[in-house]
Amino acid sequence: MAVPTKARFKARVIQLVAGGYKFAQRRRAARDNTPDELEFYYAAGDPHSHLAAQLLPRLQAQSKVKIRVRLVSQHESPIYPAIDKQRQFALTDVPRLASAYGLKTVAMNTLPSADLLASGSRYLHGAISLEEFIQREWEVSAALFSGQKTQPFDAGKLATPVDTDIEIQANNTRRERLGHYLPAMWQFRGDWFWGVDRAEALCAALGRAKLYDGALQLSRSANAAELGGTPAVDTPLEFFFSFRSPYSYLAAVQLQQRLSSLSLPLDVRPVLPMAMRGFKIPLAKRMYIVHDTAREAKNLGIPFGLISDPIGEGALRCLKVFSLADGAGQQLDFLVSAGRGAWAEAIDLSTDRGLRKVCERAGINWAAAQRCLQEPLPNYAQTNLDALQDMGFWGVPSFRLGEFTSWGNDRMWMLDELQRRIAANQ
């Protein structure tokens, strides 16, 4: 079935807007940066910023770019919701990543107090070179995440509160103007790369610009990852999914590809999209997610790019029809079919024509689906959301396997490793 003209037109408009937005960010970066400058946006007290900072010596040694560290802050906002949950998850996520990548980090015991965080930022702002920042960053992180209450930094080396605040606010504004919102971000020629997870993509970009020598020499060893106790063989793998999340689509495709070798029971748990739960998603966040997902989809060989946003009726209709899927296999078939339709084929899921297409190729009877659409939204949408929030998470894709919980499409390798450990214990 060909993509309807209206849906195709809207998808092309989205492509033009996304492309124009990216072009504008690159133009802004070109005006503000020297061509050979790499920016690192670092927030004191952010575990992922600390982990990414451990790459600074390698990047300095192997690249031909000037590295500029920009201190930023992060606060609860529509663009960065549930900040306490995100930070708490990072305390668990960073040690897992560090152990897998062979990176050293300070002990992640607790989140820092506001007073200690302010002192740490002043101490970092007082660094006059990259080498001094690297040394002070370790001192600051060791203090901030240790749980200590008193300020341990040399008072003579602290920048003034006013100067530090001015610098952080200026960097926050710059980051927003160049199209981003997160800490632990690398910015090179208008493109953004998150933490350690996008280090390979960053180095590839530097390599294309002939500004990087050799490989990053950062390899991931899943069997070295500290993932906690090994779950029992019959522990279900719970997959929390949103029909409006492009990262959920990528995760669903990868789970579908693994289904034949998955020895664990799979429990697929769709939830209402964040934007339909009162969260406002600003343009900068939407644009970055589209570009980052496109980059990841290309690496994974997953179709992506011709978009018909399913927010509203599209997502609600899919949540209703999901109840007809029989078993994990067909549930994943429907998730992937709907995801491909919304994110790669510009299929409007709010229309009967569009929804019928994604239903039928997943083996779901259209007549049954039409009857299902007349019913109220099933209770499982709220039940799944309650379970997600009880886990301490705010968004999707998220996973639970016994005591192990994680968030993000980038953590699929952890699930693979846990399954390997489960099999080895049998």
Over residues 24-45, the pLDDT tens digits come to 666 666 666 667 899 999 999 9
Q: Within 194-275, where are the H helices?
A: 199-208, 246-258
The whole-number average pLDDT for the span 304-323 is 95
Write down the pLDDT at residue 14.
64
Read off the amino acid at residue 287: M
Query: Scanning the structure block, which residue is given the tokens 């279900």?
Result: 236
12 versus 109: the higher-pLDDT residue is 109
- Cα→Cα distances 279→175, 272, 320, 394, Å: 21, 11, 22, 11
Residues in the chain: 426
Q: Which residues contact 424 (CB under 8 A, 6 or more apart)?
A: none
Give the span between the Cα atoms of 225 and 229, in whole angstroms.
11
| pLDDT, position 161 | 97
Q: What is the pLDDT, as a whole number, of residue 279?
A: 64
Contacts (Cβ under 8 Å, ≥6 apart) of 170: none
pLDDT at 74: 86
Cα separation values, 342 from 137, 323, 327, 336, Å: 43, 19, 23, 10
Q: How confident is the model at residue 5 (pLDDT cuts 50, 70, 90)?
A: low
CA distance 351 to 369: 13
- Reading phi first (left if > 0) and then psi (alpha if -120 to 50, else beta), residue 66 is in beta
In this prediction, residues 310-338 reach a mean pLDDT of: 97
Per-residue tokens: 33: 């940066």
d(CA 140, CA 133): 10
**Half-sphere exposure (Cβ direction) of 330: Cα atoms closer than 13 Å:** 14
Q: How far is CA 362 from CA 3, 191, 246, 343, in A?
A: 18, 36, 19, 16
Place of tokens 């408009």: 13
Mean pLDDT of 15-22: 60
* Lowest mean pLDDT segment, chosen from 19-28, 353-362, 387-396: 19-28
Quote the pLDDT of residue 19.
Answer: 61
**Phi, psi of 125, rounded to the nearest 5 degrees:** -65, -25
**Run of H or E residues at 42:** strand 37-42
Other beta carbons within 10 Å of 147: 13
- Report CA-CA distances (Å) from 219 to 72, 98, 120, 215, 342: 28, 11, 31, 10, 34
Q: What is the largest CA-CA distance in the chain?
A: 75
Which tokens belong to 44?
């004191």
* Spatial distance between the Cα atoms of 76 and 70, rounded to a whole number of angstroms: 20
User: How much is the pLDDT for 218?
Assistant: 84
**What pLDDT was estimated at residue 1?**
47
pLDDT of 21 strictly over 60: no
Which has more pLDDT, 358 or 311?
358
Angle ∠(382,384,390) on CA atoms, nearest 5: 100
Q: Average pLDDT, stretch 93-98? A: 98
Backbone phi, psi, residue 268, to 5°: -90, 125
Q: What is the pLDDT of residue 58?
A: 93
On average, the pLDDT of the chain sits at 92
103 vs 418: CA distance, rounded Å:
21
Instruction: Give the model's confidence band at 80: pLDDT under 50 very low, under 70 low, under 90 confident, else very high.
Output: confident
Residue 3 has pLDDT above 60, yes or no: no
Could you give the CA distance from residue 270 to residue 358 in angstroms, rounded to a whole number? 16
What is the model's pTM?
0.92
Beta bridge partners of 186: 40, 193
Structure tokens at 51: 């982990």
CA–CA gap between residue 4 and residue 161 (Å, rounded): 58
